[in-house]
Amino acid sequence: MDATHFPFDNRQIESILAADIGSCWTRVILLDRVEGQYRFIARSDLPTTSEPPAANVAAALRLACREIEESAGRQLVDGDGTLISPERSDGSGVDLFVVTCSAARPLDVAIAGLAEEFSVAGARAAARATYSRITDTFALDSARGRWGSPRGILGVVEALYASRPQAVLVAGGTDGGAEAPLLELAEALALAGSTLPLPERPRIVFAGNPAVAQRIEEVLDGTVEYSITENLQPAISRVRSAPASLLLDELYRDRRLQRVPGIGTVQQWSELPILPTIEAWSRVVQFLALQNNTRVLGVDLGAANSAVVAAFPGQGVHTVVRTDLGTDGGLEGVLAHASPPDLFGWVPGDTEPAVLADLLATYRLRPGMRPETVETLSLLQAAGREALRLLVADAQPTWPSSALATHDGRTWPAFDQIILGGGVLREAPDPVQAVLIALDGLQPAGVSHLLRDRIGLVPAIGALADAAPDVGVSLLAGPILESLGTAIVPVGGARRGDVVLRFRMTLPDGSGYDVNVEHGRLYREWLPPGQSTKLTLQPARGIDVGAGPGRPMELVVRGGSAGLIVDARGRPLPLDDDLLARRARVEEWYRDVGA
């Protein structure tokens, strides 16, 4: 590309069109520079057209452009259906077009390692940092037999023959550690490759003991493709999953993302590479953590995939994607992994769990359906809660201790800022519903400012990070993210009804009132968007709000559309085993906050 024609090279970008192509929905947003600030102008959300009859993601994109043209009164696409770029003097077209995509099928990955608790766990985390589906797990020390099979190493060959993943990630052997089992595994991988037709042979990504790498190459050479990367676990206490994740991510882009029907046409419209949506989220969350020197958690609760991205000052970014959890296409994973009381206990009313399971499973068959009734909305929000709970369970082991609050031997997420995105959270009609989904699913502790990506702009800002970082920064400085308010979650041992926290709410006119927070309840105080107030939190003995057990804390909390929420229900949430009792308690919580 000729650098002099690069539209964003030393040139003011007046207009941006951003598209996020999801597995169910394609969201297109038009931004314009007005009086030096980038402003949201128009948006179109349409079903993604990757499946027949269109079988071309560009079709939904063109329709969305046409819808935006009508609402904004501005031409975006020319007569032959191509995006006009750069912006013309008559105001048609846009200067920049950025695309993120999560519509591709996930990469099928098998993971293998020597120790379930160490190298296999590290390999699993590396695979889950991108859009992957783990097909098999082979652990030498598995309780089910050597390499996870009663048939030992030959079980690995049989399993790979049956599941046919695109990649096998091999970890294990600290630097200078075990060698022989890795060579045995390599022999099996070569053998498995030889049983499959060439196009179906997996790529082996070796991220184990480097001392054996050359011999592994000799074993694999000529049979399967392979990549050798840095040791994922150079020492027992060290995990370095980024290089292996990067290789899998490249494979995902090459074998999956680039093969989304019509993605080539979309790529032709944009001078920037199409970015996986989670990569865009990762950039934004990392930027906010660095900019504000805070712990930031990004939550993308999508239709087919769900992800959490955690960033901490000086400690990098940690991403976990679950391609089997979501509130639409990913409902089957939620149904498979969440128990009926866990899932259906969140749905008020007396509908039988079996009937609700039928409804969820039917929703999954036709991606893109919308909730028309309160019960269906509650059901999808319940699926969102469970997807978040499962995600956090996966993600917590990858987080540093600074992002974890400990109580009674268990840990809970402790973040200063939590950004909520994805359909169910974005579309919750009442902002309190979005807050409750996050509090119930993530079960955070301490004080967190909750924000919601109401427009769906986070992917676009992330996609702009490389080419036009100033634009992204300018957008984040504006009111693009909806402030839902602040959540205060005291944790510590207490009985229902005990006062666990005291503070005084000050109103704009200077008057105020004292709040005595009882254990077991939820509170909602009025604190609208744009306002903040100074609080002195006085926790009871043994109760922690972030400064340590029993320690008071002075802070300024920000308001939002849901206000100030105090969640004193305890951690873990006291959820009854009996479904009726659980539903009754959940309804009581909803009433506490007027949801």
Partner 1 sequence: MWAPETQFPRSVRVLPLARIRRERLLTFPGTVHVLFHQEVTPDTVIAESEPPGGLTSVEVGAYFGFDRRRVEKALLVQPGNVVELDQPLAAGRNGLRRREVRSPAAGVILAIDDDGRILIQSASRPVQLLAGMRGRIVNVMPRFGAVIEGSGALFQGIWGNGVESFGVLRLLTTSADEPLTAEQFDVAFRGTIVVGGATTDREALEAARAVQVRGLILGAIPYELVAQARTLAFPVVLTEGFGRAPIASPIYEGIAAYDGREALLDGRYEVRWGRRLPELFIPVSQPAEPAPEPGPLAEGQQVRLLAPPRFGRVGRVVRLAAGTRPTESGLAFPGCEVLLEDGEVVFVPYSNLERLG
Residues that bind partner 1 (CB under 8 A): 23, 44, 46-47, 49-54, 59-60, 63-64, 66-67, 70, 105, 151-155, 157-158, 161-162, 191, 194-197, 304, 329, 335, 354-355, 357-377, 427, 429-430
Q: Which is nearer to partner 1, 196 or 476 (CB)?
A: 196
Beta carbon of residue 50, minimum distance to partner 1 (angstroms, whole number): 8
Q: Which is nearer to partner 1, 64 or 467 (CB)?
A: 64
Mapping DSSP to helix (H, G, I), strand (E, B) and coil, where does residue 280 land? helix
Degrees (nearest 5) of the Cα angle 6, 11, 13? 95
Q: In what order do the strands lie in the sheet with 37-47?
A: 37-47, 25-34, 15-21, 96-101, 275-276
Per the DSSP assignment, residues forming a β-bridge with 32 are 15, 39
Q: Which is nearer to partner 1, 2 or 372 (CB)?
A: 372
CB within 8 Å of 379: residues ≥ 6 apart = 344, 347, 356, 359, 360, 371
User: How far apart are the C-alpha atoms of 337 and 340, rounded to whole Å?
Assistant: 10
Q: Which is nearer to partner 1, 157 or 438 (CB)?
A: 157
76-81's contacts with Cβ under 8 Å and 24+ in sequence apart are 76/17, 76/30
Beta carbon of residue 435, minimum distance to partner 1 (angstroms, whole number): 16
Beta carbon of residue 593, minimum distance to partner 1 (angstroms, whole number): 16
User: How far apart are the C-alpha atoms of 315 and 396, rounded to whole Å?
Assistant: 14
Beta carbon of residue 362, minimum distance to partner 1 (angstroms, whole number): 3
Q: How far is CA 342 from CA 149, 379, 410, 441, 595, in A?
A: 31, 12, 19, 11, 20
Q: What are the backbone angles phi and psi of residue 564, rounded to the nearest 5°?
A: -100, 125
Q: Which is nearer to partner 1, 53 or 510 (CB)?
A: 53
Neighbouring CB atoms inside 10 A of 457's CB total 26
Beta carbon of residue 335, minimum distance to partner 1 (angstroms, whole number): 8
Beta carbon of residue 38, minimum distance to partner 1 (angstroms, whole number): 25
Nearest alpha carbon to residue 224 among 252, 254, 196, 247: 196
End-to-end Cα separation, the chain, in angstroms: 54
User: How far apart are the C-alpha atoms of 226 and 75, rounded to whole Å?
Assistant: 48
Beta carbon of residue 495, minimum distance to partner 1 (angstroms, whole number): 36
Q: What are the backbone angles phi and psi of residue 586, rounded to the nearest 5°?
A: -60, -40
User: How far apart are the C-alpha atoms of 268 and 220, rounded to whole Å?
Assistant: 37
Q: Which is nearer to partner 1, 69 or 394 (CB)?
A: 69
Neighbouring CB atoms inside 10 A of 226's CB total 23
Q: Which is nearer to partner 1, 377 or 487 (CB)?
A: 377
Beta carbon of residue 544, minimum distance to partner 1 (angstroms, whole number): 36
Q: Which is nearer to partner 1, 179 or 230 (CB)?
A: 179
Degrees (nearest 5) of the Cα angle 207, 391, 570? 135
CB within 8 Å of 194: residues ≥ 6 apart = 223
Residue 447 contacts residue 487 (beta carbons within 8 Å): yes
User: How far apart are the C-alpha atoms of 474 and 510, rounded to whole Å?
Assistant: 34
Report the run of H or E that residue 465 belongs to, with start and end. none
Q: Which is nearer to partner 1, 41 or 54 (CB)?
A: 54
Beta carbon of residue 23, minimum distance to partner 1 (angstroms, whole number): 7
Residue 266 contacts residue 61 (beta carbons within 8 Å): yes
Beta carbon of residue 351, minimum distance to partner 1 (angstroms, whole number): 10
Q: Which is nearer to partner 1, 222 or 314 (CB)?
A: 222
Beta carbon of residue 44, minimum distance to partner 1 (angstroms, whole number): 7
Q: Which is nearer to partner 1, 141 or 498 (CB)?
A: 141
User: How far apart are the C-alpha atoms of 328 and 380, rounded to whole Å?
Assistant: 8
Beta carbon of residue 171, minimum distance to partner 1 (angstroms, whole number): 23
Report the run of H or E that residue 155 belongs to, with start and end. helix 152-163
Beta carbon of residue 259, minimum distance to partner 1 (angstroms, whole number): 10
Q: Which is nearer to partner 1, 125 or 251 (CB)?
A: 251
Q: What is the DSSP letter of 528?
A: -
Q: Which is nearer to partner 1, 216 or 304 (CB)?
A: 304
